[in-house]
Amino acid sequence: MPTSTPYAVPAPSSSQLDVAAELLTLLRDTTTEPRPDAQLEALTLAVAADLPVLLWGEPGIGKTAALNQLAATLDLPLTTVIASVHEPSDFSGLPVIGDDPAEHGVPMAPPDWAVRLVRAGKGLLFLDELSTAPPAVQAALLRLVLERRIGALRLPPGVRIVAAANPRSSAADGWELSPPLANRFVHLQWTHDHDVVVRGLGGIWPRATLPVLDPDKLPTAVALARRAVCGLLAARPTLVHRLPKGETHRGGAWPSPRSWEMTLCLIAFATAAGSSRDVLSLLVRGTVGDGPGLELLASINRMDLPDPETLLADPASAELPERGDLRQAVLDGVVDAVRKRPDRSRWDAAWALLVLAVETGAPDLVVVPATTLATLRQEGWDVPASIERLAGMVSVSRRADHAATRTAVTARAGR
């Protein structure tokens, strides 16, 4: 019986592999463009400020791709370390016994990737899958993230640290971050933008660039940051340190002296770079948490408001905020300033400011300040002509309020 010979699969020709390689090259050939991206700008600001950043996002959302693009744009060699596949000794250093341990001790040898970073003098250290690292590894990372030491080596100033993590619900064998490690990071929620993804798949991704810091703004930026943070903490001392009660929240951003110091630094950088309020909000809330962060942002908004005394001194050249809530705060501040130091000229100036507010914004914002200002009139003060321009507006607004009240009463009575 004849024996059958095994079917031999022909090896692919080298020319076909070359064609495949050419196709892969074309697929990977992408460009970048300047495009407003709040989360990317927040990331680059934190990197410029030399603060450790932790990107939170679902798998496949583009965290690693963003880090690769950032490293390429900033001309920093990227070193990726998967935290979950390492032992604690990989970050604290392996003991190496020398000739005379009793005299010289036992040095801790750093891993090879740390040696390469020190030799290069700069780089982007990417700690990936941080939420799948067990507690012992997280403890070993504390010294790396805070003191930038690995074994006997210290990372040079040119090295920046960025980490990425998946929420515990979507991480493979995930762990909550320990509070000491979480409090050392600026936490940024990384989400995908539909337009960015579509345009990127078409070959054009947004460009990550370092913020342009205005040298003339540096002293002002530092003064603003210190005034904002110190002013809030002086008024709200319980916010200086507030460890969340829930385990999940402890693994995120929360206020402590360390995170407030990082916040102060980020406010200064964002101010010097002229960043938007959206970018500043991402950074502040990502450092001290949503609650304290929103309180700080509100206090910064109030700091940006014009001084009531300046407005009263020259109402003709006054500029009121565009946003309704800020404009309301300014008008209330003007009326309060007149109440504290009543004077005929100041009273007239306040009416002029209310007229300006009506002419340049929503009239309903003037109703309460106008009513209060009218009660401050003293004997002998003539009613300024400007009040006539407000009378119709106040009357219409009051009729609308009365109508709304009657409607509500009727609706309750019909139940």
Of all residues in the chain, what percent carry a pLDDT higher than 90?
31
Mean pLDDT over residues 123-132, rounded? Answer: 89
Of 178 and 287, which is predicted with more confidence? 287
The pLDDT tens digits of the residues spanning 249-264 come to 888 999 999 999 999 9
Computed over every residue of the chain, the mean pLDDT equals 83
Amino acid 397: pLDDT: 42
The pLDDT tens digits of the residues spanning 184-220 come to 999 999 888 888 888 888 888 887 778 889 998 899 8
The pLDDT tens digits of the residues spanning 52-106 come to 999 998 888 878 888 888 888 888 899 998 888 888 887 877 777 666 666 666 6
Mean pLDDT over residues 281-305, rounded? Answer: 90
- Residue 14 — pLDDT band, cuts 50, 70, 90? low
Amino acid 389: pLDDT: 65
Amino acid 210: pLDDT: 80
Amino acid 257: pLDDT: 96
Q: 1 pLDDT exceeds 60?
A: no
The pLDDT tens digits of the residues spanning 234-252 come to 888 999 999 998 877 888 9
CB under 8 Å to 17, separation ≥6 — which residues? none
The DSSP code sequence of 20-46 is HHHHHHHHH--EEE----HHHHHHHHH
Amino acid 100: pLDDT: 62
Amino acid 98: pLDDT: 64
Amino acid 291: pLDDT: 92
Q: 399 pLDDT exceeds 50?
A: no
Q: At what angle do helices 257-273 and 277-288 cross, to 10 degrees?
A: 170
Of 399 and 308, which is predicted with more confidence? 308
The DSSP code sequence of 279-317 is HHHHHHHHHH-HHHHHHHHHHHHHHTSPPHHHHHH-GGG
Q: What global pTM score does this model have?
A: 0.73
Amino acid 35: pLDDT: 80
Q: 30 pLDDT exceeds 70?
A: yes
SS (H, E, C) 171-225: CCCCCCCCHHHHCCCEEEECCCCHHHHHHHHCCEEECCCCCCCCHHHHHHHHHHH
Q: 284 pLDDT exceeds 80?
A: yes
Q: 398 pLDDT exceeds 50?
A: no
Residue 313: how many CA atoms within 13 Å on its side-chain side?
A: 5
Q: CA 388: distance to chain centroid? A: 47
The pLDDT tens digits of the residues spanning 359-379 come to 888 888 888 888 888 888 888
Amino acid 269: pLDDT: 96
Mean pLDDT over residues 31-59, rounded? Answer: 89
Query: Residues 79, 126: contact at Cβ < 8 Å?
Result: yes
Span of 2-16, 121-135, 352-366 with lowest mean pLDDT: 2-16
State the Cα–Cα distance between residues 329 and 321, nearest whole angstrom. 10
In the 8-state DSSP scheme, what is residue 17?
Answer: H
- Residue 400 — pLDDT band, cuts 50, 70, 90? very low
Q: Which amino acid is at 277?
A: R
Mean pLDDT over residues 269-278, rounded? Answer: 93
Of 304 and 259, which is predicted with more confidence? 259
